[in-house]
A and B are shown apart, each in its own frame.
Chain A
């Protein structure tokens, strides 16, 4: 079974600075999707960025970018020019691209990293 590990329970960053959140995963599959979700105090899960495993180019969404290292099974999130509104729990997640036994229906989440942004 696939697992997702976020080794940093908490991180902090100064406003306007850059921070990187780490994520590693374990899988024997070659095709899959990786995601970063943000959960602010409202607790609604918000998709931040996604990456397709077969694409070598790292995904970017405005101030958010990822460093996807497929061989190392690493998927880190970089937040540039941090803003107070970025403070939240961040979850890394994995989803198989294979539908066998419903594998493609299931998001496997890490335990999250709590990001604090200091003014």
Chain B
């Protein structure tokens, strides 16, 4: 069966420091991969998606970037974190046309 791994679970970083969040999927090949962010008290917002290695689409302009170096690996990065980057980050992959499965998320606090 397919599983999605996301780490770390929590992260506290100072303003201006770099960021790297990693997500890997097992049990499937060539998945569509997604990074979502959930701000406090709000729904999820799509940040990036990827339909293949090296293919990244950005939904909103921001301080973050994404990369997909391998088929089942999706990385969210920042060179210099801002306070506004704080939030709950979720990686997801899509099965077929409909189902989106999420990882367990990373709570990022930028101080």
Contacts and interface: CB of A to CB of B under 8 A. Distances in A.
Given A42-B104, A47-B100, A91 B44 contact: yes
A109 interface: yes
Contacts of A93: 43-44
Contacts of B97: 33, 97, 104
Nearest to B102: A45
Given A91-B44, A111-B43, A112-B43, A50 B99 contact: yes
B41 A47 contact: no
Contacts of B32: 105
A9 to B, nearest CB: 9
B49 interface: yes
Interface of B is mostly: strand
B49 A105 contact: yes
A67 B44 CA distance: 23
Interface in B29-75: 32, 34, 36, 41-46, 49, 51, 57, 59
Contacts of B102: 44-46
A106 B49 contact: yes
Contacts of B51: 105
B46 A43 contact: no
Interface residues of A, number: 24
B88 interface: yes
Interface of A: 4, 33, 35, 42-47, 50, 52, 91, 93, 95, 97, 102, 104-107, 109-112
25 contacts: A33-B97, A42-B104, A44-B102, A44-B104, A45-B90, A45-B92, A45-B102, A47-B99, A47-B101, A50-B98, A50-B99, A91-B43, A93-B43, A97-B97, A102-B49, A102-B57, A102-B59, A105-B32, A105-B46, A105-B57, A106-B59, A107-B46, A107-B100, A109-B43, A111-B41
Interface of B: 32, 34, 36, 41-46, 49, 51, 57, 59, 88, 90, 92, 94, 97-105, 107
Given A45-B44, A93-B43, 10 more contacts: A35-B100, A42-B104, A43-B107, A45-B90, A93-B44, A105-B57, A105-B94, A107-B36, A109-B44, A112-B43
